[in-house]
Structure 1
Amino acid sequence: MSENLRINQIFSDFQKQIDEEQELREAIRVICKDIDQISREATTILQVIHHNEAGIMPACQKVRELFEKAREGYGKLKEAVPAKDYYKYQDRWRIMTQRYCFLISLTIWLEQGILATHETIAEILGISAVEEKEGFHLDIEDYLLGVLLMCPELSRLAVNAVTRGDYNKPLQISKFVMEVNAGFRLLNLKNDFLRKRFDGLKYEVKKIEEVVYDLSIRGLLPRNEPEGEVPVQA
């Protein structure tokens, strides 16, 4: 084989690899677009929690059904992405996955008043909770960011609950968010973005405390508030 033919073969092989990778990127894009659309629908449905107490549980049921559809989407994503290339393409679904961690965490808190675990969220999405060098899994950092995204939504809920005359929910939210804040303080965060998000949590804690304080000085706090901490799922 002449040198010219050998060089042509080398670059032909390169082009084949480029074409295959482009096809994979497009397949991932299409799948992620569908999964992301489901998350936007769930986000819209959960907005009812801020203006209709009676609609909270029905909304949670609706988004649970959407989570099942998202699980199917993540199944397609797992099949499309080679195990060894997980980190190569991870940025294409990372923000979307963080949003799902937020939505699932919020839904479980609304239903049970507890913190959804990393394992629970991974199970709902149908992906592994074990950090792996290869293969599809739920990164702990994505889970933690999802939890942090939930806190501003709970802060907003505390304010809106008061406008509905629900003076117990701000207390429940205050206890829960303070426990989450205490939990994050146990971590030595290396991720700059995660650390910045955590730094913003103190403002949400302060905002909720101000709501509770305002209720207190107005004499609107429930008198027979049960003692003890809001349960946090291990």
Structure 2
Amino acid sequence: MSENVLITDIFTKFQHSLDSDQETREVIRTICKEIDQISREAVTYLQIIHHKEEGIAQACQKTRGLFEKAREGYMKLKEAVPPTDYFKYHDHWRWVTQRYSFLISLVIWLEVGVLASHETVADILGISAVEEKEGFHLDIEDYLIGLLQLCSELSRLAVNAVTRGDYNRPLQISRFVMELNAGFRLLNLKNDHLRKRFDALKYDVKKIEEVVYDLSIRGMLPKTQEDKPEDEKSNEAA
């Protein structure tokens, strides 16, 4: 009889633990649903980059406003997730965080043409950039997958920029993506999701190269300062 009581007590504690875990997951799901909806709005705003140059600055500004709302959501996540259980619940916000890494990187590239660092993305989301065993942070893999998504979006932009007569943008994209590609090749990636996603980068690079090559053979590439004749450079300097 006493053994049965002991077993009952043990399983009662298990049920309490399961109930608590389920409650935490429900809170996390609700918050993630909110920040996911905000990210979808941001994606909608930024679709203008594929249609016209005018309005890109305004779209970036509106998107930054959405990042502020997302930051509030991540603050709620930090409070809801026990410091020791980050990886236990990580799958709930993994995909949306990858999307935010992509969106933030895209906005910064559109604004100033540079790579958004891991620390910058984490700071905009209001979370730590330090990889820790405990505590809420921006996982490096989520950040890197966001950059790979950025490359795919830029390869699409390279094509659409040409259709609207912008021949400078593909060159800018080509230089940036080539540098990113070189950076990724420095990583010793294992055979997992990140590796598979990286393997798709070669198709983005190929698409961009084809756009630049097509512009080149048609004589439509804008001349850089280095390409200009010496006398032309001298006249500009004068």
CA displacement at 1:7 relative to structure 2 = 2.5
Q: Which letter maps to 1:48?
A: I
Q: Matches of 1:218 and 1:225 in 2, distance apart?
A: 20
Whether 1:112 aligns to 2:112 is yes
Q: Which letter maps to 1:165?
A: G
Counterpart of 1:114 in 2: which secondary structure? coil
Question: Counterpart in 2 of 1:128?
Answer: 128
After superposition, give the CA deviation of every residue in 1:191-221 in whole Å (9 maximum; x if it has no partner).
5211111111111111111111111111111
Distance of aligned partners of 1:226 and 1:65 in 2 relative to their CA distance in 1, 3 Å threshold: farther
Q: For structure 2, list consecutive stretches of 5 or more residues without a partner in the other structure.
A: 228-238
Distance of aligned partners of 1:48 and 1:226 in 2 relative to their CA distance in 1, 3 Å threshold: farther
After the TM superposition, which of the residue ranges 192-201 and 25-34 deviates more from structure 2? 192-201
Q: Matches of 1:199 and 1:4 in 2, distance apart?
A: 56
After superposition, give the CA deviation of every residue in 1:107-137 in whole Å (9 maximum; x if it has no partner).
1100010010000000000110000011111
Whether 1:72 aligns to 2:72 is yes
Greater RCO, CA 8 A, separation 6+: 1
Q: Which letter maps to 1:28?
A: I
Whether 1:163 aligns to 2:163 is yes
After the TM superposition, which of the residue ranges 202-211 and 3-12 deviates more from structure 2? 3-12
Question: Counterpart in 2 of 1:36?
Answer: 36
CA displacement at 1:2 relative to structure 2 = 3.0
Q: Matches of 2:187 and 2:23 in 1, distance apart?
A: 40
Q: 1:183-222, aligned counterparts within 5 Å?
A: 183-190=183-190, 192-222=192-222
Counterpart of 2:55 in 1: which secondary structure? helix
Q: Matches of 1:91 and 1:7 in 2, distance apart?
A: 33
Counterpart of 1:223 in 2: which secondary structure? coil
Question: Counterpart in 2 of 1:10?
Answer: 10
Q: Matches of 2:217 and 2:148 in 1, distance apart?
A: 29
Distance of aligned partners of 1:225 and 1:91 in 2 relative to their CA distance in 1, 3 Å threshold: farther
Q: Which letter maps to 1:147?
A: L
Corresponding residue pairs, total:
227
TM-score, with length taken from structure 1: 0.94
Question: Counterpart in 1 of 2:235?
Answer: none
Q: Percent identity?
A: 75
CA displacement at 1:5 relative to structure 2 = 2.8
Question: Counterpart in 2 of 1:231?
Answer: none
Looking at CA atoms only, which structure, 1 or 2, has the larger radius of gyration?
2
Q: Which letter maps to 1:80?
A: A
Q: Which letter maps to 2:69?
A: K
Distance of aligned partners of 1:37 and 1:203 in 2 relative to their CA distance in 1, 3 Å threshold: same
- CA RMSD in angstroms comes to 1.3
